[in-house]
Amino acid sequence: MACSHWLHRAVSMVVAGVTFGLAVSLTAQIIHATDELEPTPAGSEMGAIPPEENAAEWLMAGGCAIDSIDYSRGAIGEASVRPFSEWSPELVGSVRQSLDRQQAALEMLHRAATLDRSSYVFEYRRGLDAEMPDREVPDMLPLVKACRLLLAEARVAAADGDRQRALTALATMGRLASSLERESSILTALIGIACERMMLLAAAETLVCGQPWTTDPVLVEELAETLSTEDLRAMIGRALQFSTLRGPEAATEPSSVADEWARAEFERAHALARELVDAPYGSAPGWHSRPEDEGVVAGVVLVNLRSAIARHQAALAQRQLVRAAIALRRLALVDGAYPADRSAVPELIGPDPFTGRALAYAIREDGSAEVALDGADELLSEVVLKSAASVPPIVLPAP
């Protein structure tokens, strides 16, 4: 069983201090991009990572340790789609009980936040047939469950005024997202982005939760440090590169013809990816091409590539929003007021990469401020699940 595999490894790490290594094989012959979208090597520092030093091992084991019966009751799932202020008393009680029951899983997850190296051991040399140990299809559901559990923990901690627990939960969510964003497939890219968007939502809520420690400049800096800094543009490049490792047409042709086919297909897909990554959602001609006109390029249906890029842009826009809110809060705590000049915060100057519009920013009469993604929700409804198709404005309290 997949989860049993990860739990067994986690127990072995704790009890026996297992030291055998794991490696990601990225040795297949691939065509490298030659411009700014050229992907950076995925896990170039990985080599053989001892399991006890591998963040992915702890994250997957923690996800597998979550009681599936408890999780399926809905408390954690329901708590992940609405802020704490909208929880009913019954939901609050259920979530607290769930968090108590899941302490073993949370401890494994938090261990991952202290580790720099990560590899989920995808066998990339097998291209679109990439496997994880003991299974044919990578099962990433435990990681999604883990992220939702951490989101619930962050929200409860903020409501309780537990500063350290809130920061730990956020840091672990950030580590989970970055571990996936360092991998090299569209599947992991999409899951990593989804986890990061949940983390950014929790970070914004923590910034404005009304606890006394939110007026501490140190807290603002600590909160900023939990945010992911992974290069999502490079992530898209790696996902595209991974898709070239195996193509059905190339497999039955002589190697020279296969190489020529792979090169042409990669260049075509790379050109489209470059066009879409650099253009706000829906603004480039490539966004509107019909799937039947696209076929399969480099082993990946282009409509799926478009979806990955759209979500990549939405995550970057949400990053920009949260970073702008943190920068505004930092200035207000120092100066005693939010800046009237947008140029004081770089994130407020340029357009976001998803909508192509500048962030909406306003100072209210009571000295509070609001910053928001202008027009993002309408676009998000086209590319993500309904429960994730909104990025609420961030209302910063008066300093």
Are both 228 and 267 inside the same structural domain? no
Residue of higher predicted confidence among 152 and 188: 152
Residues 95 and 207 in one domain: yes
Residue 360, beta-bridge partner list: 372
Say which residue, 305 or 175, is predicted with more confidence.
175
The tokens for 34 are: 């030659």
Write out pLDDT tens, residues 305-334.
778 888 999 999 999 999 999 999 999 999
More confident residue, 301 or 255: 255
Q: Which of 185, 219, 236 is the last residue of a domain?
A: 236
In terms of domains, do 218 and 349 share one?
no
Whether residue 128 sits in one domain with residue 15: yes
CA dihedral 73→74→79→82, nearest 10 degrees, is: -160
Residue 252 burial by CB count (10 A; 0-12/13-18/19+): exposed, middle or buried? exposed
Give the C-alpha separation, 120 to 183, whole Å: 8
Same domain? For 76 and 193 the reply is yes
**Looking at the domain assignment, is residue 319 inside a domain?**
no
**Does position 14 have pLDDT exceeding 90, yes or no?**
no
Q: Are residues 92 and 211 in the same domain?
A: yes
Q: What was the pLDDT predicted at 290? A: 54
The domain boundary residue, chosen from 236, 268, 283? 236
Q: Is residue 229 part of a domain?
A: yes
Lowest mean per-residue pLDDT among 28-32, 113-117, 186-190, 254-258: 28-32
Same domain? 10 vs 139 = yes
What is the average pLDDT value for the chain, to the nearest integer? Answer: 79
Q: Are residues 263 and 344 in the same domain?
A: no
- Flag whether pLDDT at 117 surpasses 50: yes
Residues 20 and 47 reside in one and the same domain: yes
**Domain containing residue 284:** 244-307
Residue 258: predicted pLDDT: 60
pLDDT tens-digit map of 48-88: 789 899 999 999 999 999 987 666 557 888 898 889 999 99
Q: Give domain status of residue 291, yes or no.
A: yes
Handedness of CA 246, 247, 250, 252 (dihedral sign): positive
What's the pTM? 0.81
Q: What is the Cα–Cα distance from 320 to 297, expressed in whole angstroms?
A: 31
361, two tokens: 């920013």
| pLDDT of residue 236 exceeding 70 | yes
Q: State how many domains the chain has.
A: 3
> HEC states along 226-259?
CCCCCCHHHHHHHHHHHHCCCCHHHHCCCHHHHH
| Per-residue pLDDT band at 301 (split at 50, 70, 90) | very low
Give one word for 348, left, alpha or beta, with left for phi > 0 and alpha for psi -120 to 50: alpha
What local confidence, expressed as pLDDT, does residue 75 receive? 87
114 and 64 part of one domain: yes
pLDDT for position 7: 55
359 assigned to some structural domain: yes
pLDDT surpasses 90 at 160: yes
- The domain boundary, picked from 307, 323, 346, lies at 307
Return the number of other C-beta atoms located less than 10 Å from residue 158's C-beta.
27
Answer positive or negative: Cα dihedral of 162, 164, 169, 174: positive
Query: What does the block give as tokens for 68?
Result: 């599936």
- The pLDDT assigned to 273 comes to 77
- Residue 249 near residue 194, CB atoms below 8 Å: no
